[in-house]
Structure 1
């Protein structure tokens, strides 16, 4: 049933629009809409209704292959209290000027407009994030900052800058919507909504997008955690192992023994694998040339990347990209 059917004639209901970009994340969309449904249920009245929009009104396929039929094309969409763009993988070449103009016209009304996951990139290309703070899924942080150097891109879980609302996608959309519910209807209702989804803690906007290193790797040694942090923060310009050992407060020999104990590989190999996995993500999620991918991941050139990549993944970077394009 169309959620708007329960809200007709109720002027206090917030009408929220979700513009779906092809290959949008179903999880991100559900994380954004389900808190609104729960808020209605717990409040015992229709606080929100939500509506799907596409560029042409035709069904839109998600990244998982499920297609949703929107209620509106952008040319016939009604006025909303909030409008969110939902996007995910596959938007590196998305430059639909009609979509950008639709978003600009909406933003000109002064109503809040937001981006969920890679929806932030669509807002940026529409020119709606100039002189604004924003966030995006951690895999696209670098790409957004490179394409729009004048925009302040943060690593936050979600970001509210006036009438611009952005979040990292996935379950971060829950936290953004909980914040919205709390601002409009009180913290108590937002907490009750969170409980409905076994979301045991309402995360603050400034919290990290990625799982803490100690949980990701199952380690408690603070020296190892600090060393991995340094490695992850220095993918483009790798730090020598001796320098990392010094920065975490142990000798190079102790550092190597500690790494072999925890990971059964030398720290230099662990660091190389981090950089190769970063390169793999860029091959999947960007249109950078192989040389650009190599340089962004700390390799001396495309051939250097190719040798290391083939040894680790048993295929070349070119084959990796071709396989991704064939999906």
Structure 2
């Protein structure tokens, strides 16, 4: 069966990285190679005049300058790796007209900024790169900023940037043509696994802790390196050269929890990741995350997540592999 041609536009600002576009373009090109009946037409447009000039390193934005209209597109993704300035009135009007015409709008990396400036993300979830989350949340309180890899909320698509653009495009392929095609593309690209949109960005340790306290950082790194055979609080304190009481005071001050509680949460989050991403048995996962028995693991897991490991795994696996939002699923 021949599928209709889908036109996807990429509106680009200076500062867009080559990798971002290469990943998006390659996913769509490969889909057409592995399934000849799939047709995507890609359109690259430069949002600002003069963007055709070579950037540092000789990289030049592809496509032609935006000519005043955004018509006939099924999806339009705004792409930039740094927050741009204010949009021109003409471009603002064109984007709003595209929405009225039924175009699905999206953004990659800092592309969320122009959409939010126009109010086109108000009331929507939007994946925002960890570097900008505080700034974005403060400037655009009507947007539900998340630390997800990507979000597909009704007629808005957002990816935090980096490799997450590939995850988003695989979700688009799955929605347009089924999970089998998305799986074939991921295999062709030697992608280890297809990541769900709701997976969290890997935020640098200092940013995650909200602190640069060296003893706290050392202690957390020790915990992360010793998941299967957890250290005691006394052992951790000895390794980082502080007393147990000092270590507890540091954790309480910066993380509002004692070291043992933080360590337990760390192990449980690792266990949940393994539950969703591997076929290991629940017993194997519990033991690999430092729990002495199945009942001990199940009890701790239920107390923290509100469901047993088995219940959580079954619920997540019964959902779409790309975890599209309920509103999207309802429209399928």
Normalised-by-shorter TM-score class: 0.5 to 0.7
Is 1:19 the equivalent of 2:4? no
Partner of 1:125: 117
What's the counterpart of residue 80 of structure 1? 73
Change (3 A) 1:109 1:22: same
Deviation larger for 140-149 or 13-22: 140-149
User: In the alignment, is residue 179 of structure 1 matched against residue 175 of structure 2?
Assistant: no
1:1-327 to structure 2, matched below 5 A, reads 12-55=4-47, 59=52, 65-71=58-64, 73-89=66-82, 91=83, 93-210=85-202, 232-235=207-210, 251=233, 254-259=235-240
1:198 aligns to what SS in structure 2? coil
Note closer, same or farther for the CA distance 1:190–1:105 as it changes in structure 2 (3 Å cut). Answer: same
Assess if the C-alpha contact under 8 Å between 1:57 and 1:69 holds in 2: no
Q: Taking structure 1 as reference, are residues 116 and 74 closer, same or farther at Cα in structure 2, changes over 3 Å only? A: farther
- Superposed CA deviations along residues 227-286 of structure 1, whole A, max 9, x for unmatched, are x5xx64442798996xx89xx8955x643432369xxxx9999xxxxxxxxxxxxxxxxx
Measured at CA, do residues 161 and 255 of structure 1 come closer, stay the same or move farther in structure 2, by a change above 3 Å?
Answer: same
User: Normalization by structure 1: what TM-score?
Assistant: 0.62
Contact 1:36 1:49 in 2 (8 A): no
SS in 2 for 1:68: coil
Q: Which portions of structure 1, spanning 4 or more consecutive aligned residues, are displaced by more than 2 angstroms?
A: 55-58, 60-65, 91-102, 231-234, 236-241, 248-251, 253-261, 266-269
Distance in 2 between residues matched to 1:72 and 1:182, nearest whole Å: 31
Q: CA deviation at 1:24?
A: 1.1
User: Does the Cα contact within 8 Å between 1:20 and 1:60 map onto a contact in 2?
Assistant: no
CA pair 64-24 structure 1, distance change in 2 beyond 3 A: farther
- The 3 A distance-change label for structure 1 pair 11 and 240 is closer
5+ long unaligned stretches in structure 2: 224-230, 251-332
Pairwise CA RMSD of aligned residues?
A: 3.5
Give, in whole Å, the separation in 2 of the partners of 1:99 and 1:191: 36
Cα drift, residue 40 of structure 1 = 0.8
- Matched position secondary structure for 1:160: strand
- Distance of 1:63 and 1:161 partners within structure 2: 35
Q: In structure 2, how many angstroms separate the alpha carbons of the residues matched to 1:63 and 1:113?
A: 29
Paired residues, number:
233
> How far, CA to CA, are the matches of 2:124 and 2:147 in structure 1?
14
How far did 1:95 drift?
Answer: 4.2
* Contact 1:53-1:77 within 8 A present in 2 as well: no
1:201 and 1:175 map into 2 onto residues whose CA distance is 10
Cα 1:178–1:128 shift into 2, 3 Å: same
Shift of 1:76: 4.2
1:207-227 Cα distance to aligned partner (Å, 9 max, x none): 12217x8xxxxxxxxxxxxxx
The alpha-carbon distance between structure 1 residues 64 and 14, as it changes in their structure 2 partners (threshold 3 A), is: farther
**1:182 CA displacement:** 0.8
